[in-house]
Amino acid sequence: MIHTHTLSLSFMLFSFFFGAGNLILPPLLGKHAGTTLATALLGFATSAVLIPIAGLITI
């Protein structure tokens, strides 16, 4: 693989997992969840961890 392709894929994966949504959304979810924090964490983990990993496995 060409070095520029490796660099491009590295930036793509970084933004895929650590985009602005993953920096802003978790504290906001925790603030608004209140007593349903476990449900909010489960939903966030599904959308921010499991779905991206499934996308990588699919590719």
56: CB partners within 8 A, 6+ apart:
13
- The answer to whether 30 and 37 have CB atoms below 8 angstroms apart is yes
Burial class (CB in 10 A: 0-12, 13-18, 19+), 44: middle
List per-residue pLDDT tens for the chain, 59 residues long.
788 889 988 888 888 777 767 777 778 888 888 889 888 888 888 887 888 888 888 87
The pTM of the full predicted model, rounded to 2 decimals, is: 0.57
Q: Domain residues of the chain, as ranges?
A: 3-58
**Residue 18 DSSP code:** S
Q: What pLDDT does 20 receive?
A: 67
Token representation of residue 44 = 């966030």
